[in-house]
Structure 1
């Protein structure tokens, strides 16, 4: 969801004007959870999630886990409750100094997903094999979504075997992203869904500008050019996949 440079009202209206009906806004840190919860209460098309993102993990993250569990439990008792746990995962892009802490925080969240029978929203960079091994140790009853997939066909299939759907975003709009574009052309359509990661990850041609949910249709248009199925089949299947993955 766009929050920098574009007002939330404007972002939602612009997206709905082009046919986008629902939005998922992930919580990524204790400071962020009340913000996304309020968005979900204020805007009926918005769904929130709660988690601890690996880029926001610090020495206090272990202490925040009980609060996360209570927040999830409380939210499930009310309308506009969270629909998934996350965004969580592993990120070793900047090194492995807090590797042990990342593993501990992620595994705790996967156990919550098992307890509450919720899907997870997963982030991964430079840690694909490690994440796959953790998912094999902690099978998820409701699966989840691997956010911002940009890997190979083989990596994608490994995550699908772990019960995940693959979030396909702006990466495929870049002609130079040959590996990911080729993978997305071959991966099972029933395990793909679309995302924009607004306000981050701008699409090709929009570098330097704020990404918005309204650009989701451009990701769809690119995907259609990469697949062999008809436009109608792809659009309908992706819509169903989103509902199946997130139960919205």
Structure 2
């Protein structure tokens, strides 16, 4: 299986990153995608993915850190994308998107930043990994306007069935992880049950978004197999069937052969 979204470059993994990766691989997690959040950490992220064959990079400007982003960061992102455009480790632009839940983040600035990065996705022919919180309508509108050559992943999808189908019509995959394992997440679980398997991918968002059995603890890709089993039980299929299908979905998106 593949962890389509994690942050293994974060300092919380500095003391045991190699061990976490080794345990994850031993449990069947073949690839892990590390999503970027801001310019100051891109170098750290790239050094991390180059340290292990199973790691891949997405580079982007996360809306949560809007206040920290500088006007020149978009051009710096373009420089990074130009530098690594043919590198097999670069698989997407992300984590980008909109967060309308946080009231202190200017919506107009968020939309501008998001749509500029969508233009980069077209320019460099890369998929996108999208963060969306209380912003599905605007993100859908921006995606329809952008008409990307390749789609991508809606990270940590938490919307309605109707919103899910809007993304699917645009060719997107929907990321599911620890949030859907919680007993109280019945609405999200009911959405998951109705979705076509061809548009579902697995993720951990490590070290965040823990499954219910990790309450208060660090999440990591080594928990993906148990998350997969839990989500498969919700859907009503075997964990191997879900692992195989979600892996195939990501291989098709990124053009990976194995």
Same fold (TM over 0.5): yes
Shift of 1:233: 2.9
| Structure 1 position 7, deviation (Å) | 2.1
2:26 to 6, 17, 20: 17
Shift of the 186–213 alpha-carbon distance from structure 1 to 2, 3 Å rule, reads same
Higher RCO (C-alpha 8 Å, min separation 6): 2
| Counterpart in the other structure of 2:121 | 113
**1:141 Cα offset (Å):** 1.2
Alignment correspondent of 1:164? 172
Contact 1:145 1:245 in 2 (8 A): no
CA distance in 2, matches of 1:241, 1:149: 16
Structure 1: 4+ residue segments shifted above 2 A:
58-62, 77-80, 228-235, 245-248
What is the number of equivalent residue pairs in this alignment? 247
Deviations 1:66-93 (A, max 9, x none): 110110111124453x110010000011
3-state SS, counterpart of residue 31 of structure 1: helix
Does residue 125 (structure 1) correspond to residue 133 (structure 2)? The answer is yes
Q: Is the 8 A contact 1:62 1:105 kept in 2?
A: no
SS at 1:209's partner residue?
coil
Unaligned runs of 5+ residues in structure 1 are none
Residue 32 of structure 1 aligns to a residue whose secondary structure is helix
Q: Following superposition of structure 1 onto structure 2, how do residues 166-185 of structure 1 map, counting pairs within 5 Å?
A: 166-185=174-193
SS in 2 for 1:84: strand
- 8 Å Cα contact 2:229-2:238 kept in structure 1: no
- Partners of 2:196 and 2:128 lie apart in 1 by 20
What SS does the corresponding residue of 2:174 show, helix, strand or coil? strand
Unpaired runs of 5+ residues, structure 2, are: 1-6
Post-superposition offset of 1:228: 3.7
Within-5 A mapping of 1:62-77: 62-77=71-86
Q: Is the 8 A contact 1:91 1:123 kept in 2?
A: yes
Distance in 2 (CA, whole Å) between partners of 1:75 and 1:187 is 35
